[in-house]
């Protein structure tokens, strides 16, 4: 704390990760002694907020359950002395979600090329979430160790949502030719699709899981307004943990409705309107029975698609005409889990 205050004379806020409260208490004591105008903000995971719960109750509270994603700050009960100091000196107490922690990890990596553990990103996650004045100069304390390799995939998956750059939806379309094309044209437009999962289930309507890259909350609201304007029923899944952790991976399986089904792996260019251009080329000649795509940050996206098609040669000639590399799938996995 002393180093921060001596090196950054105009600092206005210091965001501190909180577990048992020792570091928070120490920083708060130094800051309030030397520069009491500086705000000290305590940051905890939403599922491990023993300090915030204790402050609200005006006594130390023991949590029944502690989330372990940010295991470096996972405590059921804060210390007696640290609680007393925090109650007296700390200006505010906030919590951040797992997605917001993941976004904090990404921000630290992009700035310093350091991959911190979740507890170490709490301060940055707090800065990103807190409504700071325009003239604020904030410092985020980064604590803990480096990331374990096994967690990287999970964090990469959740970062876009945590930084408010991805919106997830279940969208209902009429199960008829051209419906998906209309959705891409009228709703998606120049946005990038981050994920698209669909499986033919019934003949009158279709439900698909779609992720869309958005610039901010206002952009997300405009996207939803376009869906309403053009008559697309939807459910916002952006904050649904079941959707993010499980359901997005479970859409598929055998479809009793599908007839003369063939499957292809297709390389899509990673750019806006790529899907719309593809659908325009396919036209209404072939019904899409399966679609599975997740953007992974490459220059091309590998998409698995199923078509109801009694003449694959004609379909493959369309792929060639638009220069989309496609390969017919011959896989035991497809035989076991997708086809008749």
Contact 172, 234 (CB under 8 A): yes
φ and ψ of 141, to 5 deg: -75, 125
Instruction: Residue 133: give the domain boundaries.
Output: 2-161
Q: pTM here?
A: 0.77
Quote the CA–CA distance of 171 and 58 in Å, as a whole number.
Answer: 45
Choose one of 129, 161, 193: the last residue of a domain.
161
214 contact partners, CB below 8 Å, separation of at least 6: 164, 165, 166, 167, 191, 220, 223
Token pair of 75 as six digits:
């405590």
Is there a single domain that holds both residue 148 and residue 177?
Answer: no
The domain spanning residue 171 has which CATH number?
Answer: 3.40.1020.10
Is there a single domain that holds both residue 237 and residue 331?
Answer: yes
Predicted local confidence at residue 44, as pLDDT: 98
Predicted local confidence at residue 263, as pLDDT: 94
The domain spanning residue 93 has which CATH number?
Answer: 3.40.50.1100
Is there a single domain that holds both residue 6 and residue 72?
Answer: yes
185 contact partners, CB below 8 Å, separation of at least 6: 276
Predicted local confidence at residue 287, as pLDDT: 87
Choose one of 138, 161, 184: the last residue of a domain.
161
Is there a single domain that holds both residue 278 and residue 146?
Answer: no
How many domains are contained in the chain?
2
Minimal CA–CA distance to 19: which of 97, 69, 73?
A: 73
Predicted local confidence at residue 340, as pLDDT: 65
Is there a single domain that holds both residue 113 and residue 207?
Answer: no
Minimal CA–CA distance to 135: which of 292, 306, 12?
A: 12
Pairing outcome for strands 138-140 and 13-17:
parallel
Contact 47, 66 (CB under 8 A): yes
Contact 252, 199 (CB under 8 A): yes
The strand order across the sheet containing 138-140 reads 92-96, 39-45, 13-17, 138-140
Is there a single domain that holds both residue 23 and residue 115?
Answer: yes
Choose one of 112, 141, 161: the last residue of a domain.
161
Q: What is the mean pLDDT of each run of 10 residues along the chain (340 residues)?
A: 90 97 97 96 97 97 94 94 97 96 94 93 97 95 84 86 91 85 89 92 91 93 95 94 89 89 89 82 85 80 89 90 89 85
Predicted local confidence at residue 32, as pLDDT: 96
172 contact partners, CB below 8 Å, separation of at least 6: 205, 206, 207, 232, 233, 234
Is there a single domain that holds both residue 237 and residue 286?
Answer: yes
């Amino acid at each position: 704390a002393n180093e921060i205050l001596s090196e950054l004379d105009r600092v206005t806020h210091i965001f501190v990760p909180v577990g048992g409260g020792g570091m928070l208490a120490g920083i708060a004591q130094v800051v309030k002694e030397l520069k009491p105008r500086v705000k000290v903000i305590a940051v905890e995971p939403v599922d491990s907020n023993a300090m915030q719960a204790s402050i609200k109750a005006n006594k130390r509270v023991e949590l029944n359950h502690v989330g372990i994603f940010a295991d470096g700050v996972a405590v059921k009960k804060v210390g007696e002395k640290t609680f007393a100091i925090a109650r007296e000196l700390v200006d505010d107490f906030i919590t951040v979600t797992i997605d917001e922690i993941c976004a904090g990890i990404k921000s630290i990596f992009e700035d310093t090329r350091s991959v911190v553990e979740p507890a170490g990103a709490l301060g940055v996650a707090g800065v990103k979430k807190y409504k700071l004045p325009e003239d604020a100069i904030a410092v985020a304390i980064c604590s803990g160790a480096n990331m374990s390799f096994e967690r990287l995939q999970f964090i990469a998956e959740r970062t876009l949502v945590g930084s408010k750059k991805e919106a997830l939806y279940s969208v209902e379309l009429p199960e008829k030719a051209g419906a998906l094309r209309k959705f891409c044209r009228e709703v998606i437009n120049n946005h990038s699709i981050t994920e698209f999962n669909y499986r033919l289930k019934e003949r009158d309507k279709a439900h698909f899981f779609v992720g869309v890259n958005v610039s901010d909350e206002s952009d997300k609201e405009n996207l939803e307004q376009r869906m309403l304007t053009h008559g697309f029923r939807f459910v916002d899944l952006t904050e649904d943990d079941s959707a993010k952790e499980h359901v997005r991976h479970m859409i598929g399986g055998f479809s009793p409705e599908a007839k003369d089904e063939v499957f292809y792996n297709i390389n899509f260019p990673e750019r806006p309107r790529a899907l719309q251009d593809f659908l325009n080329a396919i036209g209404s000649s072939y019904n899409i029975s399966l679609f599975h795509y997740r953007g992974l940050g490459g220059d091309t996206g590998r998409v698995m698609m199923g078509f109801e098609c009694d003449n694959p040669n004609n379909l493959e000639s369309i792929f060639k005409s638009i220069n989309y590399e496609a390969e017919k799938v011959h896989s035991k996995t497809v035989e076991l889990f997708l086809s008749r």
